[in-house]
Structure 1
Amino acid sequence: MRKFAARGLVMAMLALGTIGVSSTVGATPASACSSQENSSAFAATLPQVNQGDRSAEVRGMQLALKDKGYGLTGTGFYGDNTLAAVKDFQREHGIKDSGIVGSKTWQALVGRMPQHQTYAGEPPATVFQPGGHYPEDMFFLHNALNRINGSTGEYGDTYDAGTQAKVREFQRTVGLPEDAVVNAPTWRALYTTFRVAGRSGC
């Protein structure tokens, strides 16, 4: 089993220049960690979301609001509780409390975060099949799931039943097929969720 201290080793190697960013797909480079920039450019890329939507952006938004003290759990569905939280957040920031999450709301919620909280490289191109053995890329899957779920722990090289269950749960919440196959749409959704939530970090 491997521990998540492995990420610290990756970041240390990046800082020392012993490996390149391209070698650590999904890691936050040292330049982003030390940057004084905010996340306004990333926030500008986010789509409008409305009540009734289900998506990675919605789940990330819910987690970002949760981290600000709102009582949301990150269901991925924009329901009544999320609407109330969004409207309250909008009022607090001088935005019309329509519940529509457009550019002004994204900038207030995500754009003001330090860049290192929302930056991530490209996810792996590897497609994970249930039961497969992925020693090179398993870190990135567990890293994404742990950032979204707020958990830590050990992990192995095999895509086991426990990890598959977490992936299925994630896929369900963001409206993807619950097949536990980690393909490009699932990778994108995972990375979008923790980036919008501001849980990239260094």
Structure 2
Amino acid sequence: MPEQEAREPDPAPGARLALLLRHWWEEAGSAPGGARPTQQALAAKLGIDQTTLSRYLNPKHPLNAPLRVVEALHARLRAPAAELEQARALCRATLEDSGRERPAGAGDAVRAGRYGAWGRPRSRRPLPALLASAVVLSFAAGIAVHALVAPDRGVPADGVPGALRVGESPYEWPLLRMKKEDQYTRARAVQHLLHAHGYKVRTDGFFGEETRDAVMDFQRKHHLVSDGKVGQDTWPELVKTVGPGSSGHMVLAVQELLDNVGQGGTVVSGQYTAVTADDLRFFQRTHHLPVTGRADPDTWLALLVRQRPPASAPAYQRSTGTPPSASG
């Protein structure tokens, strides 16, 4: 067999990306004093399950790692800086390959559209049907023009459903009120924000009487309706713009919210570090916000809306002691 025919084809971009990611993981502990993290611990930091991470690192049966995970792995495994752009290029090539693959049955759908469900050529449409189609298209075009010129309707920033719109926000501030159930990260954010305003409430995710009373007092002092509910009028008064150099409960709230949006773990320390700023910039990029690395009201709003339910019981529920309250 000729040498050219015997040569194995180059691996697909997805396999090459998996090889590179696995190399990063295997080499993570080679530096003096370094320790390679287990896949379980690394997956927890990235906010994904261990099985998914194993597929990202398996060149034989790879699962295409998204760019967010690639960049997070590069940072957490302290991989060589020069290899980040290579990984990004492989990630883009993998996405392009996936986009070029025709879904199963696509050819059948095309043939059905051209020849009809039974394989016979479709008959020409009679004139009345064509006229009816023209009327429908004209009506739809009128609606589209109205949507483009109407002053009270926003236009998607990039045509992506759910993207921020020009002239309006697709988000609404979530409404939190007193309940017996754990309200998780959003309620802890309220409690951290109240702490930042001088109220010593427990940061346990349970919106009880203590939190409600603090909210009511805050509302009275800020000339709001004192109903004890945190909604569209109260959130904007509670949040403040924070960024590099900030610390305390306002930062704890940002970090907890970032840690629970599904983009990978964010260290919750109360110190607004460079890593926190990087995580926030990534969130802003992926949600079509100005990429500033600072949490302004629009970013707070998007973070609150994008919260995920916890994958398992939060740490404070697994503890046998009382729920934790962050120190001031």
Q: Which has the larger radius of gyration?
A: 2
Structure 2 length normalisation: TM-score?
Answer: 0.27
Q: Which has the higher contact order (CA 8 A, sep 6+)?
A: 1
Structure 1 length normalisation: TM-score?
Answer: 0.41
